């Protein structure tokens, strides 16, 4: 958000004496009042403008000086989010988390603050703390697709696979052909030893991931692992050969060398 700038008149200071009425010639009553009103207005406007500028600047998500660790004061949740993201972009992660925490004091029921806080914590691989934020956001908006996916990813990292699958199922209600979510669900089922169910998800992921090489490689790798577990060796070899042709990353190369060389 751009910082507003204001041009104000200089207010009267203690070093400048107050202008006395005797400095002007005696005029008619109406004219005297008019001039007096103009003088008072001239004295008041700078202070008023200064107060407006201070109020406006207080609402801007500006970065603090390095030596200033105090939190600003905002009157909207989005201002706290903007401020925290600016800190995150400067890699001031602890201060960014503190900014989210401070915003949540004033806006404890704001979905976006909880969600963005969770995203930052997950980025820092603090998955338990991220999940706590996601769960708070989930109570506010339980059917939000992106949140359900990110919450599922955190649960995967914590090896809570059944809960991850339940979270991915919420996503798939709204995006049934989302390749990445299908691949994540397939991976969770693979980790649970449910290879046939996992294979169905991974096959669907590959069908819908034609323009997403990363998801295709990810789904292909665990598809091959499931086929091997199910002793479908010919199908596993065929899938591995396709992987080497289209997206031969290091994991798939190592997998091929391990099983098919």
Does 258 fall in a domain?
yes
pLDDT tens per residue, range 156-208: 999 999 999 999 999 999 999 999 999 999 999 999 999 999 999 999 999 99
* Average pLDDT of the residues of the chain: 80
Question: Which residues are CB-contacts of 112 (< 8 A; sequence separation ≥ 6)?
Answer: 77, 78, 81
The predicted pLDDT at position 36 comes to 38
pLDDT band at 248; cut points 50, 70, 90: confident
pLDDT band at 211; cut points 50, 70, 90: confident
pLDDT tens per residue, range 14-53: 333 332 333 323 334 443 433 334 433 443 334 444 343 3
Does 65 fall in a domain?
no
Does 49 fall in a domain?
no
Does 228 fall in a domain?
yes
The predicted pLDDT at position 70 comes to 59
Q: What percent of the chain has pLDDT over 90?
A: 67
Does 116 fall in a domain?
no
Does 251 fall in a domain?
yes
Does 244 fall in a domain?
yes
**Based on the structure, what is the number of domains in the chain?**
1
- Exposure on the CB side of residue 30, measured as CA atoms within 13 A: 0
Q: What is the mean pLDDT of residues 121-129?
A: 97
> Measured at the alpha carbon of residue 100, what is the angle toward residues 95 and 104, in degrees to the nearest 5?
145
> Can you give the residue range of the structural domain that contains 256?
195-261
Does 227 fall in a domain?
yes
Is the pLDDT at 59 greater than 80? The verdict is no
Cα distances (angstroms) measured from residue 148 to each of 38, 61, 137, 167:
62, 29, 10, 5
The predicted pLDDT at position 261 comes to 86
Handedness of CA 187, 188, 193, 196 (dihedral sign): negative
């Amino acid at each position: 958000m751009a910082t507003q700038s204001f041009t104000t008149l200089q207010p009267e200071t203690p070093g400048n004496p107050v202008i006395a009425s005797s400095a002007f010639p005696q005029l008619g009553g109406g004219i005297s009042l008019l001039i007096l009103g103009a003088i008072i207005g001239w004295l008041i406007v700078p202070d008023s403008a200064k107060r407006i500028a201070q109020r406006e600047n207080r609402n801007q998500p500006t970065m603090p000086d390095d030596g200033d660790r105090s939190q600003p004061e905002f009157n909207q949740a989005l201002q706290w989010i903007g401020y925290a993201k600016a800190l995150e972009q400067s890699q001031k992660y602890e201060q960014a988390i503190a900014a989210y925490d401070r915003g949540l004091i004033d806006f404890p029921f704001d979905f976006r603050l909880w969600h963005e806080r969770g995203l930052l914590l997950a980025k820092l691989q603090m998955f338990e703390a991220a999940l706590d934020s996601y769960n708070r956001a989930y109570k506010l908006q339980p059917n939000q697709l992106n949140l359900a996916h990110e919450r599922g990813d955190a649960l995967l990292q914590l090896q809570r696979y059944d809960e991850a699958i339940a979270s991915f199922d919420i996503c798939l209600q709204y995006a049934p052909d989302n390749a990445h979510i299908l691949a994540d669900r397939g991976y969770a089922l693979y980790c649970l030893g449910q290879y046939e169910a996992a294979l169905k998800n991974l096959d669907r992921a590959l069908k819908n991931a034609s323009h997403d090489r990363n998801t295709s490689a990810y789904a292909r790798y665990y598809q091959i692992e499931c086929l091997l577990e199910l002793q479908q060796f010919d199908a596993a070899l065929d899938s591995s050969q396709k992987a080497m042709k289209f997206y031969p990353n290091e994991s798939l190369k190592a997998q091929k060398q391990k099983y098919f060389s």
